[in-house]
């Protein structure tokens, strides 16, 4: 199979779904998310546009499942040309002194630990020529963003270290800066915000991918 392969983790909604749909014009998309129904809706949209996808309804925090997925990708295609990591846990806003331990543990598991596990799994599939995409959202130090801000910052720090380490050897690791988007996650963070002033995820997906060309 000569078609390029794109792996999108966190593909069920928001920017992840938009990137999967945009990439499906030129890649076979492996779409990973916990929500089967949302993945099936994404698959319908991809097929309607003439693309193809492989759905992987699984939790990125399950290392055995993700290890098996990467093995299956290698056995079927031998590589990944692009990995877009959009999986994130956006814990409810709360003062640092009132952070719920379950929200904290889930934030660390999804935003930090899973990223640290996925990079070694996926790096061999990307090889020297592949690309890995991470998406910054700098909330560290902002009031009420303790769980999300700290763990998202840790994720991006890890991505930047990987990027610095692979400048000469590949793969190419990019940390991108999406504009504020009209997503469900942002609506929970800023419920009174004027959503008409926000970017559409589909438009941001096009912009961010075009910037890589």
Q: What is the pLDDT of residues 83-134, one digit of tens each?
A: 999 999 999 999 999 999 999 999 999 999 999 999 999 999 999 999 999 9
| R_g of the chain computed on alpha carbons | 17
pLDDT value of position 133: 98
Nearest CA to 55 out of 26, 35, 79 is that of: 35
- 200: left (phi > 0), else alpha (psi -120 to 50), else beta? beta
Q: Given this model, what pLDDT does residue 26 score?
A: 97
**CATH number for position 103:** 3.40.50.720
Model pTM score: 0.96
Domain count, the chain: 1
pLDDT at residue 2, as a whole number? 76
At residue 129, the pLDDT reads 97
The kind and range of the H/E element at 30 are strand 27-33
Q: Which domain holds residue 20?
A: 4-206
Q: Answer yes or no: is 200 within a domain.
A: yes
**What are the residue ranges of helices labelled H in 36-172?**
36-48, 63-76, 101-107, 114-126, 146-165
Q: Is residue 211 part of a domain?
A: no
180 domain residue, yes or no: yes
Is 187 a member of any domain? Answer: yes
What confidence score (pLDDT) does residue 213 get? 78
- Could you tell me if residue 84 is inside a domain? yes
For residue 190, tell me if it sits in a domain: yes
Question: Tokens 């504009």 appear where?
Answer: 179
The gap between the terminal CA atoms of the chain, to the nearest Å, is 23
Q: Is residue 213 part of a domain?
A: no
- Residues of the chain falling short of pLDDT 50: none
For residue 75, is it within any domain? Answer: yes
């Amino acid at each position: 199979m000569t078609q390029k392969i794109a792996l999108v983790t966190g593909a069920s909604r928001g920017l992840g779904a938009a990137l999967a749909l945009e990439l499906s014009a030129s890649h076979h998309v492996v779409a990973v998310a916990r929500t089967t129904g949302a993945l099936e809706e994404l698959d319908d949209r991809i097929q309607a546009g003439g693309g193809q996808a492989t759905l992987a309804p699984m939790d990125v925090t399950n290392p055995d499942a993700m290890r098996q997925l990467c093995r299956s990708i290698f056995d079927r295609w031998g590589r990944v040309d692009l990995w877009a990591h959009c999986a994130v846990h956006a814990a409810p806003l709360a003062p640092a002194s009132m952070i719920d331990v379950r929200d904290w543990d889930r934030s660390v598991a999804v935003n930090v630990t899973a990223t640290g596990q996925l990079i070694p799994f996926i790096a061999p599939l990307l090889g020297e020529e592949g690309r890995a995409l991470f998406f910054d959202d700098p909330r560290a130090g902002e009031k009420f963003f303790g769980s999300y801000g700290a763990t998202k910052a840790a994720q991006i720090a890890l991505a930047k270290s990987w990027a610095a380490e692979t400048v000469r050897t590949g793969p190419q690791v990019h940390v991108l800066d999406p504009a504020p988007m009209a997503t469900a996650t942002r609506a929970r963070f800023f419920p009174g915000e004027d959503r008409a002033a926000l970017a559409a995820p589909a438009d941001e997906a096009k912009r961010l991918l075009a910037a890589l060309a």
